[in-house]
Amino acid sequence: MGFEQEDGRLALDCNDAGVPFIEAYIDMPFSTLEKDDFEHRPFFKHFAPHGDVTKWNSPDDPLLSVQVTRFLNDEGFVLGFGNSHIVADGASLWHFMKSWGECARGLPLSMHPVHMREALSPEKLILPPPCREEDNVNPWCSPSELAGCELVQRDFHFTSEMVKKLKDMATTSCPATDHAPFSSLQALGAHMWKHVIAATDTDKSRDCILYLLSNMRSKLEPPLPEAYFGNAILRDGTVARKEELEQESVEP
């Protein structure tokens, strides 16, 4: 990848140089993780290829890296990916992984990638209006606020029954004149937002933002093909103070 001399834009050099492919081994039975229902562990980050491939620093940086990690006694393996967002978003990466699997099984591709980057040129986009200045607040903690804090990652699993319960609770608590029924994303997002913020020491008067990334492929005019390969995501969010979230009705 490099900059074009004519207009200074980033461009991919399709030189067939390949990607890093790493084979690794972990001295642990796969069944150990199964017993814990695959609860997140700090060493999970080593299942993905080393190096920050989410940022582009030089033309020699890999845009895609793959790592296969085998477990003790060949009980199982983990296939880890490192993907540059400059090249593709999550939907495109999943498309690539699915296509790779089909090729490995000798199957025809169920969906061929569509390379039409010109479809997202600025003059062809119809985007939402820009955020109001009062909504343009910084949701992130400053370095001084994070000093001495240990960041912890957790995985949560919501069954279909749990999601349905949240949707029913949200719809029941909402007056008939308001927006109802709610989608699974709205109900689950509100539930997580409310309780994650409640667990922090954030001042009650501070603005808190819930950001979501949306797949724009079907939302553009005209829409992009489902197989569009590239970045077609839009970040949007909603703002509320902590005290407002505490007063909302979506409860555990």
**Residues of the chain predicted below pLDDT 70:** 2-5, 7-9, 50-60, 121-151, 175-180, 248-252
Q: What is the pLDDT of residue 176?
A: 52
Q: What is the pLDDT of residue 136?
A: 47
Helices then strands, each counted (H, E), the chain: 6, 7
**Contact (Cβ atoms closer than 8 angstroms) between residue 71 and residue 26:** yes
Q: What is the pLDDT of residue 142?
A: 52
Q: What is the pLDDT of residue 54?
A: 46
44-81: pLDDT as tens digits: 888 988 655 445 556 667 788 899 999 998 889 999 98
Q: What is the pLDDT of residue 220?
A: 84
Q: Which CATH number fits domain 2-87: 3.40.50.720, 3.40.50.150, 2.70.70.10, 3.30.559.10?
A: 3.30.559.10
Q: What is the pLDDT of residue 83?
A: 83
How big is the chain by its Cα radius of gyration, in Å?
22
Q: What is the pLDDT of residue 66?
A: 92
Domain boundaries, the chain: 2-87, 126-247
Q: Are 2-87 and 126-247 equal in CATH topology?
A: yes
What are the Cα distances from residue 104, in Å, to 22, 25, 142? Answer: 18, 22, 46
**Contact (Cβ atoms closer than 8 angstroms) between residue 64 and residue 81:** yes
Q: What is the pLDDT of residue 137?
A: 47
20-35: pLDDT as tens digits: 899 999 999 999 988 8
- In which residue are the tokens 């993905």 written? 48
SS3 state of residue 64:
strand
Q: What is the CATH number of domain 126-247?
A: 3.30.559.10
